[in-house]
Amino acid sequence: VEERLYLGMDFGTSGARYAVIDKEGTIHAEGKRPYPLNSSKETVDWARSWKTTLFSLLEDVPSSLRSFIASISIDGTSATTIIIDSTTGEPLHRPFLYNESCSDALPVVKSIAPVNHTVCSSTSTLCKLISWWNSDESNKESSVLLHQADWLLWLLHGKLGVSDYNNALKVGYDPELDAYPPWLLCQPYSRVLPSVQAPGTVIDIMKEDIRTRYGFPEDCVTCTGTTDSIAAFLASRATQPGKAVTSLGSTLAIKLLSTNRIEDARFGVYSHRLDDKWLVGGASNTGGAVLRQIFTDEQLAKLSEQINPMEASRLDYYPLQSVGERFPVADPKMVPRLHPRPPNDAEYLHGILESMARIEAEGYTLLKHLGATPVEEVFTAGGGAKNGTWTKIRERVLGLPVSQALHTEAAYGAALLALKGAQQ
Contact residues: ligand ADP, CB under 6 A: 249-250, 288-289, 291-292, 297, 300-301, 304, 382-384, 386-387, 390
- Of 361 and 422, the one with the shorter C-beta distance to ligand ADP is 361
Helix (H) or strand (E) segment spanning residue 389: helix 388-398
Distance separating alpha carbons of residues 149 and 409, to the nearest angstrom: 16
Output 336 or 421, the one with its CB closest to ligand ADP.
336
C-alpha span between 417 and 1 (Å, rounded):
23
Least CB distance to ligand ADP at residue 76 (A): 17
Nearer to ligand ADP, 134 or 296 (CB): 296
Give the whole-angstrom CA distance, residue 259 versus residue 236.
18
What is the separation of C-alpha 131 from the centre of its chain, rounded to a whole number of angstroms? 24
As measured in angstroms, the least distance from the Cβ of 289 to ligand ADP is 5
Instruction: Please state whether beta strands 162-164 and 195-197 pair in parallel, antiparallel, or not at all (unpaired).
Output: parallel
Please give the Cα distance from 161 to 146 (Å, whole number). 7
Burial class (CB in 10 A: 0-12, 13-18, 19+), 339: exposed
CB of 297 to ligand ADP, least distance (A): 4
> Is 69 or 352 the residue whose CB approaches ligand ADP more closely?
352
Least Å from the CB of residue 246 to ligand ADP:
11
- Rounded to the nearest whole angstrom, what is the least distance from the CB of residue 290 to ligand ADP in the complex? 8
| 173/318 with CB nearer ligand ADP | 318
- Our CB check for ligand ADP shows the closer of 161 and 383 to be 383
Cα-Cα-Cα-Cα dihedral sign, residues 350, 353, 359, 364? negative
Residue (21 or 252) nearer to ligand ADP, CB = 252
CB of 268 to ligand ADP, least distance (A): 17
Residue 251: CB partners within 8 Å, gap ≥ 6? Answer: 283, 284, 285, 286, 287, 288, 289
| β-strands 5-11, 270-274 pairing | unpaired
In the complex with ligand ADP, the residue whose CB is nearer, 202 or 320, is 320
For the bound state, the minimum distance from the C-beta of residue 390 to ligand ADP, rounded and expressed in Å, comes to 6
CA angle 88, 90, 91 (to 5 degrees): 145
* Distances in whole angstroms, Cα of residue 329 to Cα of each of 115, 326, 332, 333: 21, 5, 9, 11
CB of 249 vs ligand ADP, minimal distance in Å:
2
